[in-house]
Amino acid sequence: MGEYEIKYRLMNEHDIEDVLRIEKSSFATPWTYEAFYNEVVHNQFARYLLIIKGEEVIGYCGLWIVFDDASVTNVAILPKERGNRYGEMLMHQAMEFARAVGGLRLSLEVRTSNHIAQNLYRKLGFESGGIRKNYYADNQEDALVMWVNL
C-alpha cells in the first residue's frame, strides 16, 4: 500500500466519471452515467462511499439505507488495485457508515460463482441467507443473498 494515503468520502455527481471507469472495468453489464446520476442526485435512500488512494478514486460501494435496513447495491475496486485489501477496507467503512446512520442489518447479493467475494463477506461476518434464481441479467446466474447484523 506504500506511501499513498487512503481516504474515504461520499460520492457526488462530480465523481461519476471516475466511478464509471471502475464500473466498466469490473462488470459485464455496467451501470450507465444516468443510473449513477439518478442514484447520487435523486435517490434519497442511496449513498455511495468512495475509497481514494492518493488522489485517485480506486473503488466505491453503493448503499441503500431505508430506516434500519441497509443493502449494498454494488461494490467494485479498480482491477489494478485488487488483491491489496482495499475491498475489505471499503466494506468495513461501508458497514460502519450504515451503522452510524441507524442501520441494524446489511444485506447484499453476490454471484454464486464469485467465491473470492463470498469469502471476503464471510470474513466480515456475513451469513448466507438464500438464493435469488436467475438474478443477473447478463447470464441468468443465481445470486447468493448474504446479510450481517450491524
Catalytic center residues: 109, 121
Report the 10 Å Cβ neighbour count for 38. 13
Q: How many CA atoms lie within 13 A of 98 on its CB side?
A: 32
**Quick one: cell of 5?**
494515503
Q: Which position has the grid cell 438474478?
A: 135
d(CA 150, CA 147): 9
Report the SS3 class of residue 81.
helix
Report the 10 Å Cβ neighbour count for 60. 25
